[in-house]
Chains A and B, each alone.
Chain A
Amino acid sequence: MKSLLCIEDDADIQELISRTFYDRRVLKAFNAPDGIHLAFEHDVETILLDINLPGVPGQQAISVLKENPRTREIPLIVMTGLYRDPQTNIQCLELGADDFVLKPFSPEALRARVEAHLRRKMWSGKIVGGNGARGALQCHGGCISLSPDSHGVTLVRAHKTLKSIPLAPLEMNLLRSLMEERGRVVLYRRLLESLHHGRYRRSSLRAISKLAERLKRKILPCQDHIQTVYGYGFRFFCPEDEGHSS
Chain B
Amino acid sequence: MKIPPIARILSIDDEEDYRRLVRLILEPYGCEVLEGGSVAEAKRLLKKGPLDCAILDINLPDGSGFDILKMIREDDGLSHIPIMMLTIRQVPVDETKALETGADDYMVKPFEPDELVARIRKFLKHRI
Contact = CB atoms under 8 A, between A and B. Distances in A.
B4 A109 contact: no
Q: How large is the interface on A (under 10, 10 to 19, 20 to 34, 35 or more residues)?
A: 20 to 34
A186 B127 contact: yes
Nearest to B119: A93
B118 A98 contact: no
Q: How large is the interface on B (under 10, 10 to 19, 20 to 34, 35 or more residues)?
A: 20 to 34
Nearest to A126: B80
B126 interface: yes
Contact of A190 (B95, B122, B126): B126
A90 B106 CA distance: 15
Contacts, number: 75
Contacts of A229: 1, 3
Interface string A81-120: 0000011011001100011000000101101110111011
Contacts of A93: 115, 118-119, 121-122
Interface stretch (A23-31, A55-63, A177-185): A177-185
A112 B99 contact: yes
B100 A98 contact: no
Contact of A116 (B30, B99, B127): B99
A245 to B, nearest CB: 6
Given A116-B105, A184-B4, A184-B6, 13 more contacts: A93-B118, A93-B119, A94-B118, A108-B92, A115-B99, A115-B100, A117-B104, A119-B102, A120-B104, A185-B6, A190-B126, A245-B50, A246-B50
